Chain A
Amino acid sequence: MLKGYLRQDGKKGIRNYALVAYTVECAHHVAREIQYNFRDKGVHVIGFHGCAPNDYANQMMQALCTHSNVGAVLIVSLGCENLNKEALEKQVIASGRPAKTITIQQSKGSRNSIDIGKAWIKQQVEILQNTPTVNMAMDELIVGTICGGSDATSGITANPVIGKVFDSILEQGATAIFEETGELIGCEHIMAERASTPELAKQLVKTVDKAKDYYMKMGFGSFSDGNAKGGLSTIEEKSMGAYSKSGNSKIKGIIKPAICPTTSGLYLLDVVPDGEPMFGWPNANDNAEIAELIACGSHVVLFSTGRGSVVGSAVAPVIKICANPETYNNLAEDMDINAGKILNGEATLNEVADELEQCILNLGNGKLSKSEELLHQEFQLAYKKFNQLEPGCLPG
C-alpha cells in the first residue's frame, strides 16, 4: 500500500510539490530566485524557454502543472511572451489547486517579483507540508521508464530488471509507460506481436518507422559515442537492450506527450515529432524524455544507466538503476539500485527486481530517492510538433 495526496479529480500523487513555472526564459531567473531557498522543501522550477507560440509546450506545461504530484503552482511571466499563461492558470485553478501568476513587467521588476513570489510559496509550502495523506493502491500508480548513458550491460542487467518489475506491477493493476521509439528501431516486429489488437500492432510498427525516417533525415540514429565506447555497435543492438525494459506484458496502447492513459496497462510513449523535422532532434537529452513521461502522468520514473547518469527530475522522483558494476562503484551515491551485481554473480535478476519493486513502494511511502536527496531537479522542455493520435492507438 502507498500513501498519496488526493486531488479533486480523484487521482492521487505520491508527492505534494509546489511548482514555480516560468513561461519564457526571460522569467527564468526570477523563478529560480523565488524557488532557491525552498528547493529542499518540495518546490521545483519548470518552464519553457521559447517566446514564440507552440501548442506542444502549452500542453506539456498544463499537464505538468496539474500533475498528481503537484499541489500548488506559481506562474512567473515576463509579460510579452506567447505561452498561454492565462489558460494555464485557469486550468490549474479548475483542477482545485491554488495558483498565482506574477507578471514581472507589471510588478515593478525583478526584486519585487521575487519577494511576492517567495511570500506566496512560503504560505503554500506550509499548507502542502501539513496536508494529510490517504491510502493509495498499486492500481492508482503510473510508472515510466527510460534508459540513458547505455552500455552493453544495460540490456543484460538493469533493463531486464525493469521489465520484470513492469510485468509485476502491471499484474497488480498499475499503469506502466515505456518510450523512445528511436531506440526501438529493429524491435518493431517483435514488439508488434505483443499488441492487444491488430490495429495497435500496425500502429506500433508505423510509430517506429516514423522514428526511423525522422532520424535518417537528421543523419544519425539515437546513438552516442559513449554507447560505442561501452561496447554497443549499432542502433538495433542498443534497441534490443532498451526494449527489454518493457517486459513481456501485452501492450495496451500508444500515447503521445501530455496524454495520460485512461485505463491501466502498458503503453508506448511516442516521443518523435510528426511531420518533417522542424525543431531539431526529437529529444535533446534524457531529461526532455523524462519530462514527457511525467507529463503523461508518471508518478515515478525508473532510469536505467550503464555509463552512469546522475540526473533526477522536477515534478516526479527518479529511481536510478545502475547496470554496470564498475559504474556503480564510481557513482554509488547517485544510484538507488545496483543491478551490476547480477554480472558479478552476487544476485539474480529476480532478486534485484524484488529490490526495485520494494524501492518503488518505499518511495510511494515518502522515502526519498538518491536524486531527490541530492536535489537533482533537472527539467527540459523544447519546441516540438505532434498530430493527434491515430485510430487504433488507444484501447477502444
Chain B
Amino acid sequence: MSSRKIIVLNASDNVGVVISNLSKDEKITIDGEAICAISDIDFGHKIALKDLPIGALVKKYGVPIGVITQQVHAGEHIHVHNMESLYMKQFTK
C-alpha cells in the first residue's frame, strides 16, 4: 500500500480504524487479505475485518468495546447502528 488507509491497533482486533476516508467498493489489504468497503466509511470510524454474527464481541485495542446487534460482513461500517455497549446506552442526537 502506498498510503495507510486503516490501522489495526492490536493483532487480536476484528475491526480496523479508518484513517483516510474510504469510498464504497474501495479495496484495502490487511495482512495480505483483501477487504472491500461495503459503504463509504469516514475517517475515525471502524471497518469490520471479518464477518461477525449477532452477539459477537467487537475487539479494538485488544479488548472488547461492545457487542454486535446486527449481522455484519467484512468491509462493513461498524458503529452505533450495528453494535452496542456492554455497559450502558449512549446519548446520540
Q: Which residues of A come within 8 Å of B, CB atoms? A: 151-153, 155-156, 185-187, 190, 212, 215-216, 220-221, 223-225, 227-228, 230-231, 233-237, 240-241, 306, 324, 326, 343, 345
Contact at A155–B61, with CB atoms within 8 Å?
yes
The answer, among A221, A324, A343, for a CB contact under 8 Å with B88, is A221
Contact at B46–A233, with CB atoms within 8 Å?
yes
Q: Which residues of B contact A220 (CB under 8 A)?
A: 88-91
Task: Give min CB distance, A384 to chain B, whole Å.
Answer: 21
Say whether B28 faces chain A, with CB atoms less than 8 Å apart.
no
Task: Give min CB distance, A157 to chain B, whole Å.
Answer: 10
27 contacts between A and B (CB under 8 A): A151-B44, A153-B19, A185-B87, A185-B88, A186-B64, A187-B63, A212-B88, A216-B88, A221-B91, A223-B90, A224-B91, A225-B92, A228-B79, A228-B90, A231-B42, A231-B43, A231-B46, A233-B79, A234-B66, A234-B83, A234-B85, A234-B90, A237-B60, A237-B66, A240-B61, A240-B65, A326-B43
Q: Which residues of A contact B17 (CB under 8 A)?
A: 152, 156, 231
- Quick one: given A153-B44, A186-B65, A225-B93, are A236 and B78 in contact (CB under 8 Å)? no
Contact at B65–A237, with CB atoms within 8 Å?
yes
Q: Which residues of B contact A241 (CB under 8 A)?
A: 61
Contact at A240–B63, with CB atoms within 8 Å?
yes
CB within 8 Å of A: which B21-67 residues = 42-46, 58, 60-61, 63-66
10 nearest A-B residue pairs (beta carbon): A231-B44, A152-B44, A237-B65, A234-B85, A231-B45, A234-B66, A223-B90, A220-B91, A225-B93, A240-B61
Chain B interface: which size bin? 20 to 34
11 A-B pairs besides A156-B17, A227-B90, A231-B44 with CB distance below 8 A are A156-B9, A221-B88, A228-B79, A228-B90, A231-B46, A233-B78, A233-B79, A234-B83, A234-B90, A236-B64, A237-B66
- Quick one: given A231-B17, A231-B43, are A223 and B63 in contact (CB under 8 Å)? no
Interface of B is mostly: loop
Contact at B90–A235, with CB atoms within 8 Å?
yes
Q: Which residues of A contact B4 (CB under 8 A)?
A: 345
Contact at B91–A343, with CB atoms within 8 Å?
no
Contact at B80–A233, with CB atoms within 8 Å?
yes
Q: How far is the CA of A396 from the CA of B18 in the complex (A)?
A: 46
The answer, among A155, A156, A224, A235, for a CB contact under 8 Å with B85, is A235
Task: Give min CB distance, B24 to chain A, whole Å.
Answer: 17
Say whether B86 faces chain A, with CB atoms less than 8 Å apart.
yes
| Chain B residue with the shortest CB-CB distance to A152 | B44
Q: How far is the CA of A106 from the CA of B49 in the complex (A)?
A: 70
Q: How far is the CA of A185 from the CA of B66 in the complex (A)?
A: 12
Q: Which residues of A contact B91 (CB under 8 A)?
A: 220-221, 223-225
The answer, among B43, B64, B86, B92, for a CB contact under 8 Å with A228, is B92
Q: How far is the CA of A212 from the CA of B43 in the complex (A)?
A: 29
| Chain A residue with the shortest CB-CB distance to B84 | A234
Contact at B65–A215, with CB atoms within 8 Å?
no
Q: Which residues of A contact B66 (CB under 8 A)?
A: 233-234, 236-237
- Quick one: given A152-B17, A156-B17, A231-B79, are A240 and B60 in contact (CB under 8 Å)? yes
Contact at A215–B92, with CB atoms within 8 Å?
no
Q: Which residues of B contact A240 (CB under 8 A)?
A: 60-61, 63, 65
Q: How far is the CA of A215 from the CA of B58 in the complex (A)?
A: 23
Contact at B63–A190, with CB atoms within 8 Å?
yes
Task: Give min CB distance, A182 to chain B, whole Å.
Answer: 10
Q: Which residues of B contact A231 (CB under 8 A)?
A: 17-18, 42-46, 79
Task: Give min CB distance, A208 to chain B, whole Å.
Answer: 10
CB within 8 Å of A: which B65-85 residues = 65-66, 78-80, 83-85
| Chain A residue with the shortest CB-CB distance to B45 | A231
Contact at B44–A234, with CB atoms within 8 Å?
no
